[in-house]
Structure 1
């Protein structure tokens, strides 16, 4: 067979889907399977398809390094991935006036085929990763994801009566949303080097304050795009053992675009990572067309010292808003040809961190400083406007500088005590983050900077989903403009797994004046039906009937305004968590029970770390969750879920009218209408109806079944009933049912 014929046969086999299901492990962020997912259980199937090792005869090749050398090209070519179908039917006979838009929907891989609209979460249908070893010391990987929106119209007159452009709904038949991510690896005498490049998402992690992604707690009832292969009950067993869901090994990383070069096993224990390109809030590579270019440079240099490691991290995001600035150039007519000055932005964070592993305890710490400035003048603009050179930065936007490190610092100290020391395992965290460290690409939640949006036109609009004023934090979560402490105990008492935690944190400064709507507020993310409610309105602020909701990926924050006219206090937040898990035999088969509770309160006390259970707290929230997983057959698992959530405010939190009437300004109101001013800020009532505060209840329960055809294929069905109502904010109500069916096959 000729060489060209062998290449054609190889290509045909790749297209038809014959290849090895396993892959070499190269780097910390690659899994044993080519699907990128952490395997829960080892595959019991010994059947594998081909590993491509073409029988190319060794021949002499001229090389720059050694002249004549013999080796085999393209040995060990492998690939794998998955194919899946994710369909959902939802009916809501009772729902909010603004969302969802229809009583019923039927989605097929992210498209509502009943209402002919996209549903926001475009579920991947197909993932393929191809990798090979061109030489003995090099390796490459290409990753490709595919999503069919089922929107195409196939007809003979493919041009007539259709809107031009392949992006139009009537012309679109498929969407590729990760296009050819390339990854190369080389082993050399001085170390191992990996280069990642591509137009899709390059996942990266440097440190919690520079580049990382906070991992929210999720329940195990929902199915996830990153769900791994393996026996279904094995994933629930792992959840029981580790008290966490199985995630993509790159979970916790943040998304970037561009190029990433890393080096490991360098001389003297050194390593590095260098990233250049874009982050998720600086726009794509075409921002030069809208004249809002922002770019990212991030660097980490670390050194291993035995079992310990220390590192230096640098994060720099910078750019200009050429078409939207903070100050108009007075030499131009703003109505005819507006020009802007003060359009430069920079965001920088520098930290040092260390991981120290001792026999009886472990320490992780990171300390640094950060600044955020926008509305800066370039030297050229400053000279044009003031006819003199700029000697120091002139700023018309936010000026969170780091001249005073005490007011620009970030600090995180985590201390884990092993059971062998105290007899009881404990972990403690102390953190402090000032408002100048505002990085939405980090583990620290942004609660104090409304200028982190991609462009200034999105400040305080429904397109701003980067800031959460007054957010209640999870145990272990950090936020800027906060300092606090978390203490946690996790242990096993026989078959009973116990996790108990207590946390408190407090604001550093009052920043309510930055926000035009509900400036002095409290934000809480709803844990009941979090994934379901996030699909009512996708990635939007000021959603819902009272414009209180901020929808982000797989969860929704709701903001509750405080009506105080004088804010002479700093809010304090208290949290209690308790998780209990137990595994037992029921009729000879394994049964896992898991119960989770969390309680939060928010007060204006000077210092009160203890949760408050009375109306002294601005807001109190309680969440109860119970899940059960029953392995009725080696291939069949029954799953069930139940949850209850209650949110209660005191008389200083925004209120709704309880009667009908007219204000002194002539504005009519009805029961359930929020009492607010013309700027949508909550205020105290000036009518005889003094209103009533938040009394909100949410609930959800569901049943499901997992059927494993094999360790690499399964059918997963879920049915959830859900609802919410508020005694006083009567528009805030919904009730419905949804069914999801997923078929997933790994290859």
Structure 2
């Protein structure tokens, strides 16, 4: 609180001094201001955003009883992690060829009365931590960024964030851009996507980045020296252990196509004194090529990784590849995408768009692929690629008299069978659970629940003593997904209806389709139905129904240590709410959700209750 008061006093003093200095300035005969002292920056602006949340929950039952049955949190932001509530951007252009920008953030943690009250009333203020600049020359343009809270990417196998093709519209996402009330549902229906801000598809980092474009010979480049969430960074100014990431790329542009080389690396020492270096080095080549009257687009990336473990300092080499072929309309008069990937288990790239297989790839490791990702043989959506996996998938979207049908099919197999641990994500009430238990691992008596940012996943184990288990055979995975979107008019007002569903199985035998019998070790289903009705020009009603089922066969055990019985769980969610447009730059989102979860075979894992949120988003 003292920090906030100090900032306010400082701002008032600056304003007072500025006001006094204006009185000293004079005007010449032509009405132009004569400045005594340095001439101020003319092109100076302040913009930003505010994202506040009022959150309330009430539990009928919670499996461990360690959280308050009823709780309200004021002036906060998204669940399952810290979010910046207030962002101020200060920018100016002192000359034609230079530009600067600095940011200030106010970020309260996800806490409230009754939980860690010693720190719950403190706001985290980050001021002057970000600086951006632009330099324009005849031979190129450089965009430089220094400090924290940057979002960027290189390539899918180096530095990337997964872009999921199907997502629920009911829960607000922190990367959602501003649109008028109900307009985001129209965008999702007509364009297949929604407005998103600069964080979407990018990785968070702190440090230095440079984007250099408009170079001679149609070249462009990016340079990075920073720390990511998987780096500890330099913990003290007296420490010689930097634990940083560095990399970059260079690309040659050929019209709509390109060829490029990418590199991303991490470096840390085993100790501050006489420490040995460990980490990973990834080098890839990527590109794209359009043909058949630019209807077909082939893109891909292939690369190699050198990984040095932090314990025995052993060195491992591995390679990976990722290729896609897109037909816009020539094959079936609709977009059609074919995708193939192959990632060896020793290919380590914690900040790439896939889950790394090894569990000890970083010193502060908290799950496969870095903090917040699943471990073991992961059963995931098609858009989430896993390490130690080879597979292919196909996706298309059809328009049948206004009914948009997005279909996807995926099949994959382990490259090597290295573990009997299996993991799978809880989608229906994931954000709610992450708000209650942010970034926790091995929850419950079977140590099977783990929370991530805006979600949680569960682990199970294959009983290797069962007579059908063959340790030399690889696990196989199948997934089918369906996303339906439809729009009708009710009383001359648009009504949007969406369905998002998937079925995934994991089994020992190779199959061309999901296995419905008990031969599958795990069967997982998600079904979500949403509706949005723009009842007034500035108000849209929202409704949601979701159900998920997780079922293991007789050879599965709950948790990573073979403690519990096979999973037989069902989770449900029922939601109501509305969006209200306050002005042309501010919206209010109100949501209420009734949730229920029960594992019939492991009754300890049960929760039920209600949560409500009131969110205000302002852009200025």
**TM-score normalised per structure 1:** 0.73
Q: CA deviation at 1:397?
A: 4.4
Report if aligned partners of 1:561, 1:654 keep a CA contact under 8 Å in 2.
yes
CA offsets per residue over residues 102-123 of structure 1, 9 Å max, x none? 2111112349xxxxxx975334
Shifted more, 471-480 versus 729-738: the winner is 471-480
1:581 counterpart = 2:485: yes
Instruction: Measure, in 2, the Cα distance between the counterparts of 1:150 and 1:494.
Output: 45
Query: Which residue is equivalent to 2:396?
Result: 489
Query: Which residue is equivalent to 2:123?
Result: 174
Report if aligned partners of 2:373, 2:452 keep a CA contact under 8 Å in 1.
no
Query: Which residue is equivalent to 1:449?
Result: 358
Report if aligned partners of 1:484, 1:505 keep a CA contact under 8 Å in 2.
yes
Query: Which residue is equivalent to 1:331?
Result: none
Report if aligned partners of 2:286, 2:301 keep a CA contact under 8 Å in 1.
yes
Instruction: Measure, in 2, the Cα distance between the counterparts of 1:728 and 1:152.
Output: 35
Query: Which residue is equivalent to 2:7?
Result: none
Query: Which residue is equivalent to 1:103?
Result: 69
Query: Which residue is equivalent to 1:332?
Result: none
For 2:174, which of 213, 225, 241 is the aligned residue?
Answer: 225
Q: CA deviation at 1:246?
A: 2.9
Query: Which residue is equivalent to 1:641?
Result: 544
Query: Which residue is equivalent to 1:363?
Result: 298
Q: CA deviation at 1:423?
A: 2.6
Query: Which residue is equivalent to 1:81?
Result: 48
Instruction: Measure, in 2, the Cα distance between the counterparts of 1:79 and 1:604.
Output: 58
Shifted more, 223-232 versus 134-143: the winner is 223-232
1:700 counterpart = 2:593: no
Change (3 A) 1:575 1:563: same
Change (3 A) 1:227 1:478: closer
1:129 counterpart = 2:39: no
CA offsets per residue over residues 159-179 of structure 1, 9 Å max, x none? xxxxxxxx9946964212575
1:595 counterpart = 2:544: no
Q: CA deviation at 1:87?
A: 0.8
1:682 counterpart = 2:542: no
3-state secondary structure, aligned to 1:709: strand
3-state secondary structure, aligned to 2:99: strand
Structure 1 segment 457-606 matched on structure 2, within 5 A: 465=372, 468-512=375-419, 520-565=420-465, 567-605=471-509
Change (3 A) 1:77 1:536: same
3-state secondary structure, aligned to 1:134: strand
Q: CA deviation at 1:150?
A: 11
3-state secondary structure, aligned to 1:742: strand
Instruction: Measure, in 1, the Cα distance between the counterparts of 2:474 and 2:218.
Output: 45
Instruction: Measure, in 1, the Cα distance between the counterparts of 2:110 and 2:174.
Output: 19
Query: Which residue is equivalent to 2:244?
Result: 295
3-state secondary structure, aligned to 2:436: coil
1:319 counterpart = 2:268: yes
- Give aligned pairs, total: 589
CA offsets per residue over residues 171-216 of structure 1, 9 Å max, x none? 9642125753111011111011011001x22212000011111134
Query: Which residue is equivalent to 1:727?
Result: 600
Change (3 A) 1:681 1:342: farther
Query: Which residue is equivalent to 1:164?
Result: none
Query: Which residue is equivalent to 2:163?
Result: 215
Query: Which residue is equivalent to 1:243?
Result: 192
Q: CA deviation at 1:298?
A: 0.7
Instruction: Measure, in 1, the Cα distance between the counterparts of 2:110 and 2:512.
Output: 53
Query: Which residue is equivalent to 1:385?
Result: none
CA offsets per residue over residues 48-89 of structure 1, 9 Å max, x none? xxxxxx976699x9xxxxxxxxxx862321221123421111
CA offsets per residue over residues 340-385 of structure 1, 9 Å max, x none? x874312011000002233221111001111211248xxxxxxxxx
1:205 counterpart = 2:153: yes
Q: CA deviation at 1:241?
A: 2.2
Report if aligned partners of 1:647, 1:694 keep a CA contact under 8 Å in 2.
yes
RMSD of aligned Cα (Å)? 3.2
Instruction: Measure, in 2, the Cα distance between the counterparts of 1:471 and 1:292.
Output: 33
For 1:138, which of 86, 89, 98 is the aligned residue?
Answer: 98
Change (3 A) 1:173 1:550: closer
Change (3 A) 1:348 1:58: same
Query: Which residue is equivalent to 1:616?
Result: 519
Change (3 A) 1:175 1:692: closer
Higher Cα radius of gyration: 1
Change (3 A) 1:270 1:58: farther
Query: Which residue is equivalent to 1:183?
Result: 132
Report if aligned partners of 2:229, 2:371 keep a CA contact under 8 Å in 1.
no
CA offsets per residue over residues 646-699 of structure 1, 9 Å max, x none? 1111111016xxxxxxxxxxxxxxxxxx8xxxxx6217xxxxxxx852210000
Report if aligned partners of 1:152, 1:169 keep a CA contact under 8 Å in 2.
no
Query: Which residue is equivalent to 1:69?
Result: none
Instruction: Measure, in 2, the Cα distance between the counterparts of 1:642 and 1:503.
Output: 26
Change (3 A) 1:481 1:14: farther
3-state secondary structure, aligned to 1:654: strand
**Structure 2 residue runs without a partner (length 5+):** 1-10, 20-30
Report if aligned partners of 1:92, 1:104 keep a CA contact under 8 Å in 2.
yes
Q: CA deviation at 1:473?
A: 2.5
Change (3 A) 1:137 1:58: farther
Instruction: Measure, in 2, the Cα distance between the counterparts of 1:647 and 1:152.
Output: 33
Q: CA deviation at 1:12?
A: 3.5
3-state secondary structure, aligned to 2:325: strand
Greater share of residues in strand: 2
Report if aligned partners of 1:642, 1:702 keep a CA contact under 8 Å in 2.
yes
Change (3 A) 1:716 1:354: same
3-state secondary structure, aligned to 1:471: strand
Q: CA deviation at 1:716?
A: 1.7
Instruction: Measure, in 1, the Cα distance between the counterparts of 2:17 and 2:617.
Output: 20
**TM-score normalised per structure 2:** 0.88
Report if aligned partners of 1:151, 1:173 keep a CA contact under 8 Å in 2.
no
